[in-house]
Amino acid sequence: MGNSRTTIGLFLDGDLESGEHDLIDHPQINVIYNETLHRKNTLYHSAHFQGGTLTLLEANPCTLRIRGVFGFSMSSINLEVTDGAFDVYCR
C-alpha cells in the first residue's frame, strides 16, 4: 500500500453460518475497503470485487468470539488481499 493508509471493514449478519462464503453478492456479508492517500479517501464495496471468499471459522454466542479468514481481489485497481484474518471477542 506504500504511503497510504488502508482500512478493511467486515460486516457480517448475526446469523451467518460457519463455513466458506463467496463475497460476491452475498446477502449476509458486506466488506468495505478504504484507502487514504494525501487526505483523499477512496472507498470500495464488496460489490466492486471481482473475486473473494470469507471463511467463518467460529461464531460462538456463549464465548462471544468470532474468527475467520478472508481474501478478495479487484483487478480494476490491481489489488489482491490475501491471508486476511480476524479473531474478535465481543462484549
Q: Is residue 39 scored above 60 in pLDDT?
A: yes
Nearest residue to 19 via CA among 68, 56, 61, 67? 56
| Cα separation, 35 vs 37, whole angstroms | 7
In this predicted structure, what is the pLDDT of residue 76? 86
Domain spans, the chain: 5-89
pTM to 2 decimal places: 0.86
pLDDT tens, 42-89?
Answer: 899 998 899 999 999 999 988 999 999 999 999 888 899 999 999 999
pLDDT tens, 17-33?
Answer: 999 999 999 999 999 99
| Cα separation, 11 vs 82, whole angstroms | 18
